[in-house]
Structure 1
Amino acid sequence: MTAAPGSVGPDDAARFPDGDVLVLRALGLGDALTGIAPLRGVRRAWPRRRIVLAAPAGVGGWLRSLGVVDAVLPTAAVDSLDGVRLDPAGLRPGHVAVNLHGRGPQSHRVLAETGPARLVAFANADAGHDGPPWRAGEHEVARWCRLVSWAGGPCDAADLRLPTPGGPRTAVVLHPGAASPARRWPVRRWSALARRLVEAGHRVLLTGSAAEAGLCTQVIAGAASAGATSGASMDPPGADAPAVSSLAGRLDLPGLADVVGRARLLVCGDTGVAHLATALGTPSVLLFGPVSPAAWGPAVDPHLHTVLWHGDGAGDPHAHAVDPALEAIGTDEAWDAVERALAAVAA
């Protein structure tokens, strides 16, 4: 895989006279959002340099539109960097490389191959690189802020916040999907939660990717079936829109951010949308399973976010069946947390 960020124009040369900083974070949405705070530290460390982010084009372009970075070197979202090469052709000589992707050695070598004047990364003997030590179990935001602060760019978790869309918060957003089955709460429980929200008078929106549209349809069908059994209507008389509707596959990233930013409450698993709620200050109820919230939970505003978890952090986040710790979260427990969160929003 090769890509280039484009040639440097006269405007870039004038705005960033000291050259470029190439930052690697070729990961998914949640990883990108937890990377916002250290990226702001990178800006502080090198204010006269252009910040070029090697990341998936969609999330990279969105961060560029927000002014977090200045240019994007598009990559796929990958865990393994085998065969990945970053083309340095669009970078000015003497660039600084910052590894926000991993501990190395692969990610160190991918950046080293671009010929940087300096590599900022955690210490890794296999890559022959000296730097601050990697700490197992450290919160993802704190870890990368520590690295960038060490390099001269002070930053902390408060830097991950993004501007909110403004206006009234209306619907409750449910995001039932996740990258792996291990982190997907059972469909029937999402349906039961949606039904209870409607019966309590709330408008419910489901979000997800195009691949998760079928999952959202199942949630709506299950909620409607349960409502019919109980005699409750899923579409109250006089409503301008159905009480539960799906936006799965219909939103780009800015659109998703707008929906989450205007939500009264987000309920989801341990997935990227949870970090979007954290960045936008949207109250949330988060259902964790195989991964500890100490490493990936909300890093700011604990009063806004309720985390449910019955695990020990030893689960497999990539397993092909729901994690026992996630399955241990029952519908009643989730509903109690949702009721408390909604009451706090209304207070």
Structure 2
Amino acid sequence: MSAPVLLVRSDNVGDVLLAGPAVRAVAAHEREVVLLAGPRGRAGAELLPGVDRVVEWCVPWIDPEPGAVDPAQVRRFVELIGSIGPRAALVFTSFHQSALPLALLLRMAGVGWIGAISEDYPGSLLDLRHRVEGDPPESERALSLARAAGYAPPPGDDGGLAVRRPLPDVSGLVGEPGYVVLHPGATAPARQWPTEHCAAAVRALAAAGHRVVVTGAPQEKARTALVAGEDGLDLGGRTDLAGLGAVLDGADVVVAPNTGPAHLAAAVGTPVVSLFAPVVPAERWAPHGVPVELLGDQGAPCRGTRARDCPVPGHPCLSGVGPDEVLRAVERLRGAVRCES
């Protein structure tokens, strides 16, 4: 059997899901695909079609809260990659991340061919130094690297996001499909819609006749309980990522900030009301491939800062979005045609 190809996307769940079209393109041409993910993105990697094996390492120049660089851990990582023995690797990164430190470690592990997007001079670290013009959606940016490496998408693949199916049966949690999901959380506080707005939106949606489901991670249970109140079904901490995907799959519309579950909604084909703080550009990071209503002041002073905590008093880019505006966006999207993943 030929040696595997190693693909790398080492940050968060949403970033990993956005690499999915590129992963499928590589998998269509290779016998075995190994995906290297970080601890924050591994669950997303395990949902991607085309991935045969997932390996995990916390990359200290990518993770937002990295520990100290440990030479012993670095040596163990090089040994791990050497034991896998990939004949080639593609390193997927965002525009503000460098692929070159990892390329150096992959060279030390014996990987003979490496491709990545890189504005910096790579010397002998890269065999394919790919550049991207303009500001395409992140999934298309990653797919362009796969294409440049010779991996065209398979026939019939539209380049959209997707997850492995079947997804778990969550009917015992949510009942029949046909509800609105509101996901209030995001890893960066600057991207969150105010909690009181989320709670008011649940009340407004319920008053308009919508069944409302509130989702969140285990560490967000206090917030999801507050948001759900007496009018929504609180699923905070009650699903893993695959279960969350199934809940989103059964929704008519998902309301979420710029966070991994918004991309998971796109991956299962569900329209998204995107409460999008412009700390990163929406043209690159908004949910892709499904009907989207983009809400939030995209010209706010925080635009392009990549801030994790809002740098503007009052969080005006999102606090100015009212519950009634979300209700109207949900009702517009309910008539949209779902995208099948």
- The alpha carbon displacement at 1:339 in A equals 2.2
Q: For the residues of structure 2 that align with 1:62 and 1:123, how far apart are their CA atoms?
A: 24
The yes-or-no answer on 1:311 pairing with 2:298 is: yes
> 2:236 corresponds to which residue?
248
Within a 5 Å distance, the mapping from 1:14-25 to structure 2 comes to 17-25=1-9
Within a 5 Å distance, the mapping from 1:1-347 to structure 2 comes to 17-44=1-28, 46-48=29-31, 50-56=32-38, 60=42, 63-64=45-46, 67-76=49-58, 79-80=62-63, 83=69, 85=74, 86=77, 87-92=80-85, 95-101=87-93, 102-128=97-123, 129=126, 131-135=129-133, 137-155=135-153, 158-162=159-163, 163=165, 169-221=177-229, 234=230, 243-289=231-277, 290-301=279-290, 304-312=291-299, 313-320=303-310, 323-344=315-336
TM score, norm. by length of structure 1: 0.78
Q: For the residues of structure 2 that align with 1:69 and 1:149, how far apart are their CA atoms?
A: 18
- The alpha carbon displacement at 1:88 in A equals 1.6
Unaligned runs of at least 5 residues, structure 2: none
Q: For the residues of structure 2 that align with 1:259 and 1:325, how far apart are their CA atoms?
A: 28
Q: For the residues of structure 2 that align with 1:142 and 1:209, how far apart are their CA atoms?
A: 28
Preserved CA contact (<8 Å) 1:22 1:53: yes
Report the RMSD for the aligned CA atoms in angstroms.
2.8
Could you say what secondary structure the match of 2:198 adopts? helix
TM score, norm. by length of structure 2: 0.80
Q: For the residues of structure 2 that align with 1:58 and 1:183, how far apart are their CA atoms?
A: 18
Q: For the residues of structure 2 that align with 1:66 and 1:143, how far apart are their CA atoms?
A: 17
Tell me the number of residue pairs that the alignment of Structure 1 and Structure 2 aligns. Answer: 305
Q: For the residues of structure 1 that align with 2:105 and 2:9, how far apart are their CA atoms?
A: 12
The structure with the greater share of residues assigned to helix is 1
- The alpha carbon displacement at 1:157 in A equals 6.0
Preserved CA contact (<8 Å) 2:5 2:30: no
- The alpha carbon displacement at 1:270 in A equals 0.6
Preserved CA contact (<8 Å) 2:48 2:162: no
Preserved CA contact (<8 Å) 1:39 1:69: yes
Preserved CA contact (<8 Å) 1:109 1:127: no
Preserved CA contact (<8 Å) 1:315 1:323: no
Q: For the residues of structure 2 that align with 1:63 and 1:104, how far apart are their CA atoms?
A: 19
Residue-by-residue CA offset, 1:222-246 (whole Å, 9 max, x unaligned):
xxxxxxxxxxxx4xxxxxxxx4121
- Counterpart of 1:341, as a letter, is L
Could you say what secondary structure the match of 2:111 adopts? coil
Identity rate, percent? 30
Could you say what secondary structure the match of 2:196 adopts? helix
Preserved CA contact (<8 Å) 1:174 1:205: yes
Q: For the residues of structure 2 that align with 1:183 and 1:190, how far apart are their CA atoms?
A: 13
The structure that has the greater radius of gyration is 1
Q: For the residues of structure 1 that align with 2:133 and 2:271, how far apart are their CA atoms?
A: 30
Q: Structure 1 residues 194 and 77 mapped into 2: Cα distance closer, same or farther (>3 Å)?
A: farther
